[in-house]
A = this chain, B = another copy of it.
Amino acid sequence: MRVKEGNKEIDIIEAAVKVFAKYGYHNSKISKIAETANVATGSVYVYYKNKEDILLKIFSDLWTKLYDELDLIVSNTSLSSIEKLDAMIDLIFDVFSEEPSLALVFVNEQNHLEQSNKKGFTNYYEKFLDRGEEIIKKGIDEGLISENIDLTIFRNFVFGAIRHLVHCWARDPKTFTINKTRMNVKLFIKHGIAK
């Protein structure tokens, strides 16, 4: 018998995140991912069915993690709805601030998967948004949030805004300080910009 050395499965994913971030999914070669992971080209196919399967894994890991953390926030009874909303925003920025490459992949490639309509990741992504929506609903019930808003529109409004800002930050961390960005986002969402 022979035993696996290290964990190539993880090495490949980490390499893929870097390579996808740098070149974009379609311009990334499997051979480059393999090289980055210190692994032979063929090994990639031992662990993943094909190129898209790698992207799928990246996203399902990401959304699983985000969902689980959001779940903790939503079920935390000691927070008000507004505080939960803030915590959700912090969560997203925190997850990406540790990994700029992942942020780039997240922003640039999510649409691909939505187009090829792979479930398994769409599930978690939708569930995440649904869970976030619960916060808003509760806030409306409690009279903290305006009842004139369309929830579906709102959640996509926020999602799009944050996604783009994460992108800006990942491309140019100097201009977009994470902290200033997240503070502004919280302000915009709660109070808008009008005086």
A interface residues (Cβ-Cβ under 8 A, vs B): 24, 26, 82, 107-108, 111-112, 115, 136, 143-146, 148-150, 152-154, 156-165, 167-168, 175-176, 180-181, 184-185, 187-195
Contact = CB atoms under 8 A, between A and B. Distances in A.
| CB-based closest 7 A-B pairs | A160-B164, A192-B192, A161-B161, A191-B192, A190-B194, A26-B26, A153-B184
Given A146-B193, A190-B192, A193-B145, A112 B165 contact: no
A184 B150 contact: yes
A185 B157 contact: yes
Given A24-B115, A111-B108, A176-B152, A157 B188 contact: yes
A191 B191 contact: yes
Q: Name, among A111, A143, A156, A193, the residue most crowded by chain B CB atoms within 10 Å (CB to CB).
A: A193
Count identical subunits in the complex: 2
30 contacts: A24-B111, A26-B26, A82-B194, A136-B193, A144-B195, A145-B193, A145-B195, A146-B191, A146-B194, A146-B195, A148-B187, A149-B188, A149-B193, A150-B180, A153-B176, A153-B180, A153-B181, A156-B165, A157-B164, A159-B164, A160-B164, A161-B161, A161-B164, A163-B164, A164-B164, A188-B192, A189-B192, A190-B194, A191-B191, A192-B192
A3 B188 CA distance: 57
Contact of A24 (B82, B112, B154, B194): B112
A87 B123 CA distance: 37
A66 to B, nearest CB: 17
A57 to B, nearest CB: 20
B195 A143 contact: yes
Q: Name, among A115, A163, A168, A194, the residue most crowded by chain B CB atoms within 10 Å (CB to CB).
A: A194
B145 A194 contact: yes
